[in-house]
């Protein structure tokens, strides 16, 4: 779906420019950026339209200002996200693991091991979507959120600014609301449009669909892009390789070349350029001719001769260009206002210059349900068993046979890969052997023997991987009535004891093992340690 996705590189910068995406932005009204995040060396700074440094270099990542605030990431060993004002001072403290830019005066922030929380421009916490796996910025008063249902399917719905779910999670994918409509995808990968009540107003029928702009929307059908009106009727039949709303025109790709058409499908500028970027409400558009970039007007006439290694759309009176591996800014006569001197520019600003969107328009949850793990582990009565339980009880409880217990092992898995959360599974082991040697290679199953211990193994994946220490700490905290044995504990292993038994908690490579042993005949063998 990404034929108009363009990547340009110099030895100093690498900017991925998603000029056209069938599910993406394009056509949004774009304001003039007054302070531009650019990089000289390792950190981002902000300069004005004359190139004067307004905010000193200090950020590892930076965005343009929206709603008076810019999302920035601090430098250092533990970078965090926060928001600055145009004076360069933090208006919202940088203590978040991830965040979106502001949109509709709202933004999403994610703290360590927390779910996405909505904040306003004052930094006030409005609400948290505990069950959301991912959220998108607000648009037209609604924000898309993704959650995983009981069958493990990922579905999207929408929430309003008060945190109320307005449209239940039911779609396989969604775009953003514009003018009361939003593109949504069903389980078959077909796109249609819903209104703000969740009612399907244009049936699922397209291969891809963009948000509406000026009462029309770009869609794809049969591998070709076209244009529909607010009722779903084609204004331009699907015929182009790709297409992007561009003010009152549409940037198109046809036979590997780029040009422009109007809303009626009339070709205004013949497809003739190797690459092209939208006018974005300006008078000039950047195009590639040969190996260089220049600018044309809306009649297709070259106004600024091709001479740059790369050129982006004008924003206000300036356009970003690349020359000799450095970034500078020119005016509409092609003269440098800011000489090429910067090593890099914010990817967020690149996205905004082209589509009006942001590269920081969604966040994923960092919440990992540690409580679900601690409540699942039963250290005082492992799976309802005790050290007085017989092997007969074990066989009955877990519906096992004698053959399920190896003659040559002291550990026997009776629960395998039980799902606790989407990022944690559990194995449970019986320790000790019910087999008694009665001679050379002769074994008899003694159903009256007792287990010597029990072990839980928690396997962490996804958001859980890397949170072994947090899980270990939570398990240890849940051990009421136990005393830590400092002599048998270190950073990765801890041993706790009460009057009857010991509990050993071990962390290693995405796993937490909890070994429960009787003090009368303690077993310190953990499944992970023996390689199972």
> Cα(488)–Cα(497) distance, rounded to whole angstroms?
11
pLDDT for position 432: 93
pLDDT of residue 177: 96
Helices (H) and strands (E) in the chain, counts: 4, 47
Instruction: Tell me what pLDDT residue 439 has.
Output: 73
Per-residue pLDDT of 138-187, as tens digits, reads 999 999 999 988 777 899 999 999 999 999 999 999 999 999 999 999 99
Give Cα 236 to chain centroid, integer Å.
Answer: 34
Q: Which ranges of the chain have pLDDT less than 70?
A: 1-29, 521-532
Q: Architecture of 5-364 per CATH? A: 7 Propeller (2.130)
Predicted TM-score of the model (pTM): 0.81
d(CA 315, CA 514): 59
Residue closest to 197 by CA, chosen among 165, 175, 228: 165
CA-based angle 244:247:252, to the nearest 5? Answer: 30
**What pLDDT was estimated at residue 443?**
87
Rg for the chain (alpha carbons), in Å?
30
Q: What is the pLDDT of residue 334?
A: 97
Q: Which residue intervals of the chain bear CATH 2.130.10? A: 5-364
Dist. CA 509–CA 532, nearest whole Å: 13
Q: Which of 84, 113, 83, 115 is nearest to 100 (CA)?
A: 83
Report d(CA 157, CA 160) in Å as an integer.
Answer: 11
Cross-sheet strand order for the sheet of 208-209: 208-209, 216-221, 224-229, 234-240
Structure token pair of residue 324: 């000799």
Residue 164 CB partners (closer than 8 Å, separation 6+): none
Confidence (pLDDT) at 521: 55
A 10 A CB-CB count for 297 gives: 16
Strand ranges inside 432-510, DSSP E? 435-439, 442-445, 453-460, 483-484, 493-497, 501-508
């Amino acid at each position: 779906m990404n034929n108009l996705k363009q990547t340009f590189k110099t030895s100093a910068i690498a900017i991925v420019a998603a000029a056209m995406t069938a599910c993406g932005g394009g056509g949004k009204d774009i304001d003039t950026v007054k302070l531009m995040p650019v990089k000289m060396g390792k950190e981002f700074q902000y300069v004005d339209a004359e190139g004067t440094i307004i905010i000193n270099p200090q950020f590892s990542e930076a965005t343009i200002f929206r709603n008076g605030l810019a999302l920035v990431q601090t430098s250092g060993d533990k970078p965090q996200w926060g928001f600055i004002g145009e004076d360069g001072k933090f208006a919202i403290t940088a203590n978040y693991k991830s965040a979106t830019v502001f949109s509709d005066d709202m933004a999403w922030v994610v703290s360590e091991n927390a779910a996405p929380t909505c904040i306003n421009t004052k930094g006030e916490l409005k609400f948290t979507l505990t069950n959301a796996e991912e959220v998108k910025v607000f648009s037209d008063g609604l924000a898309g959120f993704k959650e995983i249902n009981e069958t493990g399917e990922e579905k999207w719905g929408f929430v309003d600014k008060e945190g109320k779910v307005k449209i239940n999670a039911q779609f396989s994918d969604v775009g953003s609301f514009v003018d009361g409509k939003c593109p949504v995808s069903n389980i078959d990968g077909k796109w249609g449009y819903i209104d703000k009540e969740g009612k399907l107003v244009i049936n699922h029928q397209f291969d891809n669909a963009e948000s509406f702009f000026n009462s029309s929307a770009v869609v794809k059908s049969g591998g070709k892009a076209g244009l529909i009106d607010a009722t779903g009727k084609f204004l331009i039949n699907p015929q182009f390789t790709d297409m992007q709303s561009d003010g009152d025109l549409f940037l198109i790709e046809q036979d590997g070349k780029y040009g422009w058409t109007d809303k009626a499908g009339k070709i205004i500028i013949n497809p003739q350029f190797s690459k092209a970027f939208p006018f974005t409400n300006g008078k000039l558009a950047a195009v590639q001719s040969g190996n260089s970039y220049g600018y044309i007007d809306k009649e297709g006439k070259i106004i600024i001769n091709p001479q740059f290694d790369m050129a982006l759309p004008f924003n206000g009176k300036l356009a970003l260009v690349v020359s000799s591996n450095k970034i500078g800014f020119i005016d509409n006569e092609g003269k440098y206002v800011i000489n090429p001197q910067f090593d890099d520019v914010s990817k967020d600003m690149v996205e905004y210059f082209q589509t009006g969107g942001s590269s920081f328009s969604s966040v994923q949850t960092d919440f990992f349900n540690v409580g679900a793990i601690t409540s699942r582990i039963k250290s005082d009565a492992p799976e309802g068993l005790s050290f007085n339980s017989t092997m007969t009880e074990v066989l009955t409880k877990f519906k096992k046979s004698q053959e399920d217990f190896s003659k040559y092992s002291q550990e026997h898995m009776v629960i395998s890969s039980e799902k606790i959360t989407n990022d944690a599974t559990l194995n449970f082991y019986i320790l000790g052997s019910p087999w008694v040697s009665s001679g050379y290679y002769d074994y008899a199953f003694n159903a009256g023997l007792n287990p010597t211990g029990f072990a839980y193994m928690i396997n962490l994946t996804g958001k859980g991987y890397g949170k072994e220490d947090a899980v270990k700490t939570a398990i240890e905290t849940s051990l009421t009535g136990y005393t830590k044995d400092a002599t048998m504990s270190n950073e990765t292993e801890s041993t706790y004891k009460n009057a009857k038994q010991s509990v050993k908690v071990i962390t290693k490579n995405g796993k937490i093992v909890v070994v429960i042993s009787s003090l009368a005949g303690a077993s310190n063998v953990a499944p992970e340690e023996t390689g199972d």
